[in-house]
Amino acid sequence: MLKIKMALPCPTLGVLSKFVIVVSGIFADKISLKKMLHKNAALSFVSVAAAQSAVWGQCGGIGWTGPTTCVAGSTCVESNAYYSQCLPSTSTSSGSGSTGTSTAALPTSTSTAKSNTVAQTAGKKYFGSATDNPEFTDAAYLAILSDNTYFGQITPGNSMKWDATEPEQGTFTFSGGDAVVSLAQGNSQLVRGHNYSWDIINEPFNDDGTWRSDVFYNTMGTYFVDVALIAARAADPNAKLYINDYNIEGTGAKATAMMNLVSDLKSRGIPIDGVGLQGHFIVGEVPTTIQTVMEQFVALGVEVAITELDIRMTLPETDALLEQQQTDYKNVISACNAVAGCIGVTIWDYILGYRAHLQDKARPALGTRI
């Protein structure tokens, strides 16, 4: 999905209302978040709230005031008391097996090198993790999240979404987002905003490469992509604009559709700077062509990032499944390391029992295997 996202060296900032705005992705100059919100609100389609959550969107949890039902083909599944998510009714994956295409060095279970240190040594901007405000009450969790040798960037899972920042039209609150920024600021970490409901472009394609039917496409056709990107560039000329989606990590119809879209935008001078590959995988089914796909996107003149990486397994866990999960994570990260235009990896929270696509009988997170 193309999201308004933010990434910044937090020591240069105060609170969320003064940010480095990046549309779904990387680094830019400071701009007022409130100003950005009001500029976007001038576009009629931005104020349209979806009646149902999209695939991978939030659909419940303590304090959640947004949609509690999911679009067709997905089911609302509780991750924890604070977070329920729309998961595909039938999981799909673009390819299978492990990538094994890169020999970039990664820490082993006995290595003293930590994930963000390794990423930056490999020339990446960061290795990051999603998080959420309720998790800040867990001291052990917070200690690892705050270690910038593990994580050079954190992504707030919910506190920068539309329902959190504008619970009523015209009424803005940034307390949750400010708390995340303050944490990152104290740890010299970057922040990537995650604003699911007022994204610029949200997962435009179906898995077969056709355009997804939604209020934007049904009203404006494909022109909504142009309008969104041009408006975002006008709001901040220095922002990097990303389109972010899932199931585009391996070769297939959806990845091809995204490449064709990027190529078309570039040919017509519509601003587009990067593609985010979400990376929601199943153990043993990471696409073997992920590095090739990233290289193909980079060849179009954009950069790429792994933005929401998790690899889930069916319980009960076994040593073999855990080893395969570790290998899968290593292969995805190695693929990014091997592509100069891949700027970093964000995992969709790092510890078992928190977030991501934690189904009743599935365990997705990286856990202690960082």
- Which residue numbers are catalytic? 308
Neighbours of 102 (CB within 10 A): 19
Sequence-ordered list of residues with C-beta below 8 angstroms from that of 5, at least 6 positions apart, any chain? 22, 23, 24, 25, 192, 193, 194, 195, 242
Cα separation of 213 and 227, whole Å? 17
Of the candidates 291, 350, 295, 299, the residue with the CA atom closest to the CA atom of residue 143: 350
Pairing of strands 303-314, 280-282: parallel
Residue 123 C-beta-side C-alpha neighbours within 13 Å = 9
Residue 19, helix vs strand vs coil: strand
* Alpha helices in the chain, H assignment, sequence order: 33-41, 115-121, 139-145, 162-165, 175-186, 215-220, 223-235, 253-267, 290-299, 319-338
Tell me: cis bond preceding 316? Omega within 30 of 0 counts: yes
Sequence-ordered list of residues with C-beta below 8 angstroms from that of 336, at least 6 positions apart, any chain? 124, 294, 304, 305, 306, 342, 344, 345
The pair of structure tokens assigned to 160 is 């920068």
Q: From the CA atom positions of the chain, what is the Rg in Å?
A: 19
